[in-house]
Amino acid sequence: MGKRKGGNKGPASPNQKATSDVSMDDAATQTSAAVVEEDKAESSNLEEPSEVMPLIGGDQTSADYYFDSYSHFGIHEEMLKDTVRTKTYQNVIYQNSFLFKNKVVLDVGAGTGILSLFCAKAGAKHVYAVECSLMADMAKEIVEANGFSNVITVLKGKVEEIALPVAHVDIIISEWMGYFLLFENMLNTVLYARDKWLLKDGIVLPDKASLYLTAIEDAEYKDDKIEFWNSVYGFDMSCIKKQAMVEPLVDTVDQNQIVTNCQLLKTMDISKMTPGDASFTAPFKLVAERNDYIHALVAYFDVSFTKCHKLMGFSTGPRSKATHWKQTVLYLEDVLTICEGEALVGSMTVEPNKKNPRDVEIMLKYTLNGRHCQVSRTQHYKMR
């Protein structure tokens, strides 16, 4: 999986591989309504993560990359400074304290313990904060430093291996989402905890997550990132180009690049779903809102807390305030010339990698039968 620094991309170039006599309609696309609770906090406008500094013990290895990566300060700093993420959770908890008052809460993947602290401050009877990385040691100090040692118990270890001091909990809260919603996520861990400890009428927060797809014009960056390998200082390195196409990019997409409507692919109900539901095939129909080129499809997700007094949540889409999840860009082998009203149709299949379930395999099938472009293709991607 690749990353790039965000930035505005220029319009489609007239001398790309696909040319057309279609006039480019630059009318602004209609802004979609965000499901994000209004926030007075200052915008974070995140850049690439700062240099990762090791936590305690410089002898950390990559034997278990996922948990080791969460033993560093940098990744937690980035998440905490993501005000869309953190303030939404804070608002959900503080503005719905009736859900937490005198309740037992399980915080899955607690990190620094920030969600546990919010819950304790909102009146929770007790909070069990489970964290597998070395950050658990810091979380214990943070809890003690803020005077919540009698309310929050930090448990170091994997949810699947620890023993809770209680038989049941009233609420499970977690920030389990990964890039593309499902890459390096903790969803299966949350579902395991739900099935083992959550009371029958208990609550999972958040309880809904939806994955969306749209199409963008991205000539400038595709040329820089993909076509670059065709001639490197005069040498043919196009074999690397094939690998570059397979790895989706995580980046902030300018909303002005969007060419089509946004299509809902999948909604997951965390309170009811099974682990197998995270593998799916979903059809899509992306209708062009202007005449333009399509270089890539873009995936993003929304998260909802439906058990609140009023619906709360946030979006990671390109028309919403930026988050550290950004968006996921899947470049197409073809440069598609599309006219307003024409439709790019197809399906997306998503499933975990068989060897490493935290990685994601994506299969994209798409067809365009337009006035200036006819194409039908299947592409495979790997987020790893």
> Which of 159, 178, 177 has the alpha carbon at shortest distance from 169?
159
Q: Of 37, 78, 184, 217, which one is the catalytic site residue?
A: 184
Catalytic residue among 37, 78, 131, 175: 175
Give dist(CA 242, CA 250) in Å, integer: 18
**What is the Rg, in whole angstroms, of the alpha carbon atoms belonging to the chain?**
22
Please state, as a whole number, how many other Cβ atoms lie within 10 Å of the Cβ of residue 39. Answer: 16
**Sign of the torsion formed by the C-alpha atoms of 44, 114, 137 and 143:** positive
d(CA 257, CA 348) in angstroms, rounded, equals: 21
Let me know how long the chain is. 384
Tokens of 110: 């607690």
What is the pairing mode between strands 292-305 and 312-315? antiparallel
Cβ-contact 362, 348 below 8 angstroms? yes
Q: What's the rounded Cα separation, in Å, for the pair 189 and 60?
A: 24
271 touches 207 (CB < 8 A): yes
Token look-up 């949810």 returns 159
How far are the Cα atoms of 10, 122, 270 from residue 208, in angstroms, in the given order? 35, 22, 6
* CA neighbor of 107 nearest in space, from 155, 75, 73, 65: 155
Active site (annotated) includes residue 175:
yes
Are 318 and 290 contacting, i.e. CB atoms less than 8 angstroms apart? Answer: no
DSSP 61-100: -STTHHHHHTTBHHHHHHHHH-HHHHHHHHHHHHTTHHHH
Q: Which residues are catalytic?
A: 175, 184
